A and B are shown apart, each in its own frame.
Chain A
Amino acid sequence: MRPPLSLLLALTGACASASKGTSAAQAPAPAAAPPSAPAAAKSESTSVERPQYPSTYTRHPNPPVLIRNATIMTATGQEIPNGSILLKDGRIVAVGAKVDALAGAVVVDGSGKYVTPGLIDDHSHLGVYAAPGTDAESDGNEATTPVTAEVWAEHSFWPQDPQIPLAIAGGITTIQALPGSANLIGGRSAILKLIPARTVQEMKFPGARYGLKMACGENPKRVYGRKGGPSTRMGNMAGYRAAFIQAEAYRRRWDAWNKDHKGDPPERNLRSESLAEVLRGNMYVQNHCYRADEMAQMLDLAHEFGFKIRSFHHAVEAYKIADLLAREGTSVSVWADWWGFKEEAMDGIHENAALNQVAGGRPLIHSDSPSGIQRLNQEAAKAMYYGQRSGIPVTRDQALRWITANPAWALGLDSVVGTLEPGKMADVVVWSGDPFSVYGKAVQVYNDGWLVYDRNDPAHQPRTDFELGQTPAPGSDR
């Protein structure tokens, strides 16, 4: 009846558009700052003295919470039946078959329920392509020139996007909000705690590194083919190379000046500043790329300039080069089953994530969709069961890691979130049943210990300003 979402995204150039094992040790994965750390500025502000757009995130004060008698899926290889988990001061304090009660803790009966880490979507356009989807809210693609490394998604992000509470209700606790894929280099991503907030600064994940959005293939050449180029894939490659050649010269000037601060500092250039951070290894490349042969080209580009590609996004053909991707230590952020909305997406198969898993790679399931982000668990389930039915030995724990620990790694936050282990941030979801069942739903979502969603308690079902007086309140028809 209507064009599917994927086609709409394709036409707007959103992203879909037209959008471990051995390798873990090879990729540099510097531990992110601990949850309490202020926004790190030491390497970030190489060209200015003052902090740039710092996080103002603070933990919401909450009583300790003890969830008991639940199946605890830790994402560390364990599934604990009749287990418990204790949250206190924003941290996971204890997980196991037996956990001592704590005075003053809110006790949640988890009988019949499942507990997982908070889900992480490393590919979202929430807030930058906000509902209700008007031109006025279309802030995801600075489609004015093919390299816009100077734009930052956080400067577009609208915290009152009514899609945010929907994603929270799906168990999402952290997102990477990315610029779209119209451009070769689309700008900086924002790594955000998915919580109700007045400003994006309050949502910025403390200590998280920025991502740099890059895009291969059809989108940039479609958008710029008649606007001065690039109009070909070889033009795309030349465009990235030109940008990094400039950035390398810029990095040398600034790194030299930073040694002794002699004389005037070099002139700032925002575009090169972002790219120089990639060259220094301080920022992660998040690369929209569908075809196997193009991913191989992008890996060569990364070798030419000495940086790492942290994740290929969409990567519908990653299964064709799963061995290469595992060797390179580049994760793949994929869908369970999207395909066919454009030519470079024609070869999508259900087994993509599973094949990359058994090849020793680091697959993860992403959404690129305000709808799909609400059921990442279902998409992971599809990818897991299709893999298993095709004879690929993927486990429930691996599939859970596709939506928790692996995206945490892709964002450099794997020491902070993504598993249920003592000391990790208390990002926890309680499910009505098996999260890999179509009938399992998030019933409680804790973000840093804060109960941000409770399916059975309207007092914990936050609504955005946009919704007030305009969309029906939950349960208003009953």
Chain B
Amino acid sequence: MIALLLAQTIAITGGTVYPVSGPKLENATVLIRDGRITAVGAAVTVPDDATRIDARGKWVTPGLIDGGTQLGLTEISAVNATNEGALRGSDVAAAFNVAEGINPASTLIPVTRIEGVTTTLAAPASGWLSGQAVLIDLDGATIEQMLIRSPVGIVVDLSEGSKSAGGGSRAGVAQRLRRVFSDALEYSRRRAEYTRAQMQQLAAPAADLEALLPVLRGQLPLIAFANRKSDIETALRIGREFKLKLILAGAQEAWMIAPQLAAAGVPALVQPLDNIPSYDALGVRYENAAVLAKAGVKVALLETDTHNARDLRQQAGNAASYGMTWDQALRAVTLSPAEIFGVGDRYGSLDVGKVANVVVWSGDPFEFTTAVEHVFIRGKEIPLRSRQTELFERYKKLPPQY
């Protein structure tokens, strides 16, 4: 309904268009109507009623997608009153869907979208089997208006950070995960007996086991956070045993087994600028994303600092600087995350029929010299304002006028 009310035709003309799904198009037009892309190319006829955006000399790309944030779920990291991403009290929280914790009025949303990031994953913040991540567009007055897909996957942490879930041992974590999965399957086969309390105690409450069934049917991805090579291999092993659809996150030592990941068809969410060694990943290095992409792994790049999700383009530029091709890096912040999160048919590229999340840049989106000139989310032009631009306006001349 909202889309219809705002229905208008926008023609972004004369720019260098990077559809991502195909080669770049010089002096091309992107036509948007009713929130969708209706034409892309050099020979597009612009309707008379269209609002024209002159993009000559500009670069036009899909809106960037960051799969590494808690956007909408946090306002001030250190103020718990403003944080909604963690369900305390149970380390198995598969039924916990973060969507209703999202604050559409969060100040982080304008700060982020005016820098060209239009879509983000809102993921549970901590815990072990921590809940359901959802995908949102960074515009909308209500949670419903923001949601793109819910859930996108269920998150489990197989890294050092969640060893306590396995009694302090990685082996314990793996065994506990198998038990939860087995119990979910058992539960699904014997619901009636469960209801009559004729079963031994299960590894998690029924609601959480129920929530895991789409994962165990291979319909919903398990987003497995793992960094150490052996933990990634554990994720792959458990994935094979239960025939799971895996998304690997963190993945700091994934470069060591890139061919295996490619063969298994498991995509990876990586933060290119991770390179500080820890006992969770002594082999962490800048070239991770490049090695994975070269081996044929589908890679999405992350900026995991929620407040600075806008630095996703800096992450991508550095990924390109450390061995990804520029085209691979752009794909890894647009179409690849859209595909990994199950919305590749609607998001991530400039193709007819897709949701019109479009950014007009003054140049290479990864370069610091480049400004964001226009942002469209679902075909609606976003004013380039945020709380930070207001602070700047107030204090650019001192003393301020209160």
Contacts and interface: CB of A to CB of B under 8 A. Distances in A.
B332 to A, nearest CB: 15
Interface in B243-298: 249-250, 255-256, 269, 273-279, 282-283, 285, 287, 291
B307 A343 contact: no
Among all A-B residue pairs, the 6 with the closest Cβ atoms? A438-B317, A4-B305, A340-B307, A342-B78, A381-B368, A18-B78
Given A437-B368, A441-B321, 6 more contacts: A3-B77, A4-B306, A4-B307, A338-B307, A438-B317, A438-B320
A378 B77 contact: no
Contacts of B255: 477
B125 A390 contact: no
Contacts of B274: 371
B277 A342 contact: no
Interface stretch (B37-45, B186-194, B391-399): B391-399
A402 to B, nearest CB: 14
Contacts of A348: 388
22 contacts: A1-B250, A1-B269, A2-B304, A11-B78, A18-B77, A321-B398, A323-B398, A337-B308, A339-B307, A339-B388, A340-B75, A342-B79, A349-B388, A350-B388, A355-B396, A390-B392, A392-B396, A438-B317, A438-B318, A439-B317, A467-B277, A472-B256
A179 to B, nearest CB: 20
Interface in A113-146: 131-134
A301 B80 CA distance: 32
A337 B108 CA distance: 13
A441 B287 CA distance: 14
Interface string B157-197: 00001000000000000000000000000000000000000
A132 B282 contact: yes
Interface residues of B, number: 57
A1 B392 contact: no
A225 to B, nearest CB: 14
A343 B77 CA distance: 8
Given A18-B78, A343-B78, A1 B225 contact: yes
Interface string A379-402: 001101100011010000000000
A132 B279 contact: yes
Contacts of B282: 132, 470-471
Interface string A323-354: 10000000000000111111100111111000
A371 B273 contact: yes
Contacts of A3: 77, 125-126
Contacts of B317: 438-439
Contact of B391 (A347, A375, A392): A347
A392 B398 CA distance: 14
Contacts of B287: 477
B250 A341 contact: no
B366 A438 contact: yes
A340 B112 CA distance: 12
Contacts of B307: 4, 6, 338-341
Nearest to B85: A3
A343 B79 contact: yes
Contacts of A1: 68, 123, 155, 223, 225, 249-250, 269, 302, 304
B108 A340 contact: yes
B76 interface: yes
Interface residues of A, number: 60
Contacts of B304: 1-2, 4
B139 interface: no
A355 B283 CA distance: 40
Interface of A: 1-7, 10-11, 18, 131-134, 162-163, 166, 218, 319-323, 337-343, 346-351, 355, 359, 370-371, 374-375, 378, 381-382, 384-385, 389-390, 392, 436-439, 441, 467, 470-472, 477
B76 A340 contact: yes
Contact of A134 (B79, B279, B366): B279
Contact of B276 (A4, A163, A437, A470): A163
Contacts of B283: 471-472
A431 to B, nearest CB: 12
Contacts of B269: 1
Contacts of A323: 398-399
Contacts of A441: 321
Nearest to A358: B396
B23 interface: no
B285 A5 contact: no
B78 A341 contact: yes
A348 B282 CA distance: 33
A131 B276 CA distance: 7
A165 to B, nearest CB: 11
B278 A133 contact: yes
B70 to A, nearest CB: 9
A341 B76 contact: yes
Nearest to A388: B369
A384 B250 CA distance: 31
Nearest to A222: B78
B79 A2 contact: no
A470 B161 CA distance: 21
B394 to A, nearest CB: 9
Given A132-B282, A347-B391, A349-B391, A320 B400 contact: yes
A261 to B, nearest CB: 51
**A18, A342, A470, A472: most-surrounded residue (chain B CB, <10 A):** A472
Contact of B161 (A2, A162, A439): A2
B311 to A, nearest CB: 7
B56 to A, nearest CB: 19
B184 to A, nearest CB: 23
Interface in B288-347: 291, 302, 304-308, 310-311, 314, 317-318, 320-321
A114 B275 CA distance: 25
